[in-house]
């Protein structure tokens, strides 16, 4: 049976316009972008068009956009650059994606230390902990723009303002946000920002690193001189073109898309309360991504609920990682002081552009069935 998909925070389907563009480029423009004959020049111009589209979507200039293979790679490039810095201390939040937290753990033995800022029960960084965490050798602050599990939007502008006088670069992992909330590099004030195409209806395997000043970043992939010498390797031309168009569409459709997500979320929240009044919602109701809901069903187990919903043709994810039949509590919810029994009873539902009111009704009836003893 066809699946109803409610896990858009994990990945999104390709927009049809993006799919068509990528297909035509793969067929017609197979030249190496570094080649100087016409086929190569055409491939190069396709990449530069995409660079403009991405820059335009976030208010940057084209020469500040680097293409990577993923948001994960973009995050890694910023963090690994610290090995070459004289200031080797990083401040991050306790609820960052593993593509930040695990990297920091790996950098420890190489002399890069870190401090994690706590978050409140709504998953918002505790700003009063920021200045006390600063050290003489703090070389980077990395705080996500919005959390992937609970959707809480972090006060990045405020963080940039607080550390402005200390001249410390700020990175934000904005992978969850493009097309859901406005992103403007100038109002955010950050030095680095990461994006990933497959989170905004673009292809998998293509990401972006915005770099305010290219002198402040080192290459992670070494070889040819692609991407201003900052990311070696022959470019994924069709993937980059797909990312560019997806970024343009995300920007153009921002208000209608976020309204659509909010509408579905409102219907879902209202009706779900009637099915199960003991529900616990996680995240910040005022500062959150539209269409992302993290909720716990007291007394239930997330993996069992997910398996039942999967049988009914409904795709949702859990707040926690299920590995080898054991449910480990989510580190994000732990940092938000959610106790383990609620933590392992948490589902994450994230709506997308293709979802309808009827889909929401299907999900509600599926949950009703799954919750029956």
Tell me the per-residue pLDDT of 263-284, one tens digit each, with 9 for 90 and over: 999 999 999 988 888 999 999 9
Q: Judge whether 322 counts as a catalytic residue.
A: yes
Number of H-type helices and E-type strands within the chain: 14, 15
Supply the pLDDT for residue 2.
Answer: 80
Cα–Cα distance for residue pair 107/109, rounded to 1 Å: 6
Q: Name the percent of the chain lying above pLDDT 90.
A: 94
Least Cα distance to 110 among 139, 82, 73 occurs for 82
CA 12 to chain centre: 12
Angle at 346 between CA 335 and CA 127, to 5 degrees: 25
Is residue 228 pLDDT above 90, yes or no?
yes
Supply the pLDDT for residue 210.
Answer: 99
How does DSSP classify residue 174?
Answer: -
Beta bridge partners of 196: 207
- The whole-number average pLDDT for the span 17-23 is 99
CA neighbours closer than 13 Å in the CB half-sphere of residue 77: 31
- The whole-number average pLDDT for the span 328-337 is 96
- Which tokens hold the place of 48? 């530069």
Whether the CB-CB separation of 316 and 261 falls below 8 Å is answered with no
- Which tokens hold the place of 249? 């569409």
CA 267 to chain centre: 25
CA 243 to chain centre: 14
Q: Is 70 helix (H, G, I), strand (E, B) or coil?
A: coil
CA neighbours closer than 13 Å in the CB half-sphere of residue 274: 6
Cα–Cα distance for residue pair 229/255, rounded to 1 Å: 36
Active-site option among 94, 162, 315, 322: 322
Distances in Å between the alpha carbon of 75 and those of 138, 196, 261? 17, 11, 27
Query: Please, which pLDDT band fits residue 121 given cuts at 50, 70 and 90?
Result: very high
Supply the pLDDT for residue 320.
Answer: 61
Supply the pLDDT for residue 275.
Answer: 87
Supply the pLDDT for residue 123.
Answer: 98
Cα–Cα distance for residue pair 152/271, rounded to 1 Å: 22
The average confidence (pLDDT) of the chain is 96
Helix (H) or strand (E) holding 126: none
Supply the pLDDT for residue 80.
Answer: 98
Q: Where are the alpha helices (DSSP H) in 191-299?
A: 226-229, 237-252, 254-275
Task: Identify the residue whose tokens are 């066809």.
Answer: 2
Supply the pLDDT for residue 277.
Answer: 85
Query: Please, which pLDDT band fits residue 325 given cuts at 50, 70 and 90?
Result: low
How does DSSP classify residue 172?
Answer: E
Task: Identify the residue whose tokens are 């997308």.
Answer: 352
Is residue 322 pLDDT above 60, yes or no?
no
- Domains in the chain with CATH codes: 4-12+254-371 (3.90.1150.10), 16-252 (3.40.640.10)
Q: Give phi and psi for 194, each to the nearest 5.
A: -110, 140
Pairing of strands 113-117, 138-142: unpaired
Whether the CB-CB separation of 88 and 137 falls below 8 Å is answered with yes
């Amino acid at each position: 049976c066809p699946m109803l998909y409610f896990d858009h925070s994990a990945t999104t389907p390709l927009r049809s316009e993006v799919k068509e563009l990528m297909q035509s480029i793969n067929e017609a423009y197979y030249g190496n972008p570094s080649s100087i004959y016409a086929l190569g020049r055409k491939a190069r111009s396709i990449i530069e068009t995409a660079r403009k589209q991405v820059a335009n979507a976030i208010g940057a200039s084209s020469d500040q956009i680097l293409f990577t293979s993923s948001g994960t790679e973009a995050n890694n490039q910023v963090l690994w650059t610290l090995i070459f810095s004289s200031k080797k201390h990083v401040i991050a939040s306790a609820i960052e994606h593993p593509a930040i937290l695990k990297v920091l753990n790996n950098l420890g033995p190489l002399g890069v230390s870190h401090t994690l800022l706590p978050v409140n029960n709504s998953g918002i960084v505790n700003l009063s902990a920021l200045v006390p965490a600063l050290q003489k050798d703090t070389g980077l602050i990395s705080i996500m723009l919005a959390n992937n599990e609970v959707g809480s939007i972090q006060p990045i502008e405020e963080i940039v303002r607080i550390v402005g006088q200390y001249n410390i670069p700020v990175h934000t992992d904005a992978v969850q946000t493009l097309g859901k909330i406005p992103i403007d590099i100038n109002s955010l004030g950050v030095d680095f920002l990461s994006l990933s195409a497959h989170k905004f209806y673009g292809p998998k395997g293509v990401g972006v690193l915005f770099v305010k000043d290219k002198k402040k970043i080192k290459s992670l992939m070494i070889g040819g001189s692609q991407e201003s010498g900052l990311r070696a390797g022959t470019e994924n031309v069709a993937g980059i073109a797909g990312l560019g168009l997806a970024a343009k569409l995300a920007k153009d459709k921002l208000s209608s898309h976020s309204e659509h997500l909010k509408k579905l979320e409102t219907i879902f929240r209202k009706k779900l309360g009637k099915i199960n009044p003991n529900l616990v919602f996680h995240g910040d109701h005022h500062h959150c991504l539209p269409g992302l809901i993290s909720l716990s069903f007291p007394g239930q187990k997330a993996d069992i609920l997910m398996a039942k919903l999967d049988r009914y043709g409904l795709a949702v994810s859990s707040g926690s990682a299920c590995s080898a039949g054991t449910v480990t509590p989510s580190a994000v919810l732990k940092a938000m002081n959610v106790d383990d029994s609620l933590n392992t009873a948490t589902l994450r539902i994230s709506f997308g552009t293709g979802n309808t009111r009827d889909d929401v009704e299907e999900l509600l009836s599926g949950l009703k069935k799954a919750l029956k003893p």
